[in-house]
Amino acid sequence: MEFAERTSRISDSPTLAIAAKAKALKAQGVDVISFSAGQPDFPTPGHIKAAGIEAINANKTGYTASSGTPALRKAAARWMSEQTGVQYEPSQILISAGAKFAIAVAILSTVDPGGEVIFTAPYWVSYPEIVKIADGVPVIALTSKEDGFKITPNQLEALITPRTKMLLLNSPSNPTGAVYTETEIRVLAKVLEAHPNVWILSDEIYSRLIYGDMKHFSIAAVSPEMAARTIVINGVSKTYAMTGWRIGWLAASKELVEKAGKIQSHTTSCPSSISQEAAEKALTAPDDFLNEMREAYSRRRELFLELLDDVEGIEPFIPDGAFYLFCNIRFYLGKECPDGTTIRSCLDFSNYLLDEARVAAVPGGAFGMAGYVRFSYATSDEDIKRGVERIKNALAKLK
C-alpha cells in the first residue's frame, strides 16, 4: 500500500517526543524533572472548570455551529478588541479546536501550492510542518541573539518575492520569549505596505504573559489597512491554563473567516461544546488569578537565570514573555561523556541531560536553531532549583 507523499514531508513534534520519553521514565518510577513542557503548571481556575461541569449537567453536549457558539464568538470578539485595540465583530472570529488548528486553517485558506511563508528561526516547531501540509514553502529568516531573535526590516524586504503569500509573526515567541516592540512592529508594517498581497499571520497566544515594562502590540493595530490583511491567533490555553480544553481562535476579515470556516466544517466539524462553555466563562469572568500566574512566572524566570549564572557554558537569552529560556550550549559541543561518547549536537546534549541528570529539555534544532536548548520554567521553584543543580553536576562530568 502507498501513502500520500506529504506524510513523508512532515516530521513528528520533537517537543512531544522529549516529553514522551520523560513521561515514560517517570512511569518507571524514575525521578525526572521536566523543563520541556509548553504548558502552564497551574490548574484551570475553579470557576472555569465549574462552567464545563455545568455544561455537561445541562446536556450542552451536542454539535455547535462549526465556527463556534454565538456566545463564545461574541466574548472572543470583545476580548480581542480589548487586547489589540482593533474592533472585532463576532462574525470576524472563528473558534477552533485549539490555536494550532486556527493557524492551520488560516494557512490552508491563504497559501496555494508553492506559496512562500516567511517566518523566523528559531520558530515554533509546528510552523514549517503546517506550511508543508498546505503544500507551501517555508522561507526561514535566521535570527540571532544580538538581534533579539527578531526579523529585521532589511531581512524581510530581502525575502519577499512574487511567490510570497504570508509573513508569520510570533510575539511573544516560543521558544525565545522575545517580544516585538511597537516601534519594531510599525517598521515591519512599513515594509509590508509596499507588498499589499502578502498576508500577515500574527500568533499572539502568549500575549498576556509579558513581564516588566514590555507591552504587547499587535500588527493589526497599525492601521485599518493592516488589520484587513492580518489574521490574529489567540486562545485560552496559555492565559487560562486550559491546554487540554483545546479552544483557540482566529480574528480576521469576515471573508477570511467564512473561507476558513468552510475548511473547518469539513475537518473538525466544530470545537467541543463543553470546552466552549468553559472558554466563554474564562473570557467574561474576572481574571485576577492571571496576575498571580504572571508573578510566579516572573519569579521563576529570575530564579532560573540566577542559578544558570553559576553554570559554565550555558548562555540564556533573557525573555520578555512566555515561559521559556532559550540557551546557547555550543560550549559543550565536542565534549566527551563519561561513557566515552561525544556530544556533537544539541540533541545529544538534551539526551545526555535526560540520561545522566534526569532533566528533560528540548533541543534547539527542533526550533531551527542548532546549538541551543529550550528550558521551560512553567514548573515549581523547587524543581527549578533541583533541576539546575542536577544539570550543573552532570555537565561537570564532561571532558
Distance CA 300, CA 291 (A): 14
Q: Is residue 57 part of a domain?
A: no
pLDDT tens per residue across span 119-150:
999 999 999 999 999 999 999 999 999 999 99
DSSP 11: P
Report the alpha-carbon distance of residue 396 to residue 399 in Å, rounded: 8
What is the extent of the structural domain holding 76?
62-284
- 290 alpha carbon, distance to own chain's centre: 18
Domain presence at residue 33: yes
Residues 76 and 39 in one domain: no
Scan for cell 566527551, then name that residue: 336
Instruction: Please report which confidence band the pLDDT of residue 22 belongs to, taking 50, 70 and 90 as the band edges.
Output: confident
User: Per residue in 148-206, pLDDT tens?
Assistant: 999 999 999 999 999 999 999 999 999 999 999 999 999 999 999 999 999 999 999 99
Half-sphere exposure of 328 (CA within 13 A, CB side): 11
Higher-pLDDT residue of 282 and 27 is 282
pLDDT of residue 383: 97
Does the structure show a pLDDT above 80 at 18? Answer: no
On whether the CB atoms of residues 304 and 388 are closer than 8 A, the answer is yes
pLDDT at 315 over 90: yes
Residues 195 and 99 in one domain: yes
Contact yes or no for 22/34 (Cβ under 8 A) = yes
What average pLDDT does this structure show over 37-57?
96
Residues 39 and 163 in one domain: no
Give the pLDDT band (50/70/90) at residue 14: low
Under the banding of pLDDT at 50, 70 and 90, the label for residue 393 is: very high
Instruction: Give the single-character DSSP code of 366.
Output: G
Look at residue 6 in the predicted model and tell me its pLDDT: 87
> Which domain CATH number covers 329?
3.90.1150.10
Cβ proximity of 281 and 48 under 8 Å? yes
Residue 195: give its domain's CATH number. 3.40.640.10
DSSP 8-state code for residue 86: -
Q: Is residue 113 a part of any domain in this protein?
A: yes
Per-residue pLDDT averaged across 380-390, rounded? 98
pTM: 0.96
Give me 63's grid cell: 454539535
49 in any annotated domain:
no
Residue, of 50 and 25, whose pLDDT is higher: 50
Q: Of 252, 267, 284, which residue is a domain's last? A: 284
In a domain, 318, yes or no: yes
For the chain, the domain total comes to 2
Task: Give Cβ neighbours of residue 178 (< 8 Å, ≥ 6 apart).
Answer: 148, 149, 150, 171, 172, 317, 319, 320, 321
Q: Are residues 215 and 364 in the same domain?
A: no
Q: Please, which pLDDT band fits residue 15 given cuts at 50, 70 and 90? A: low
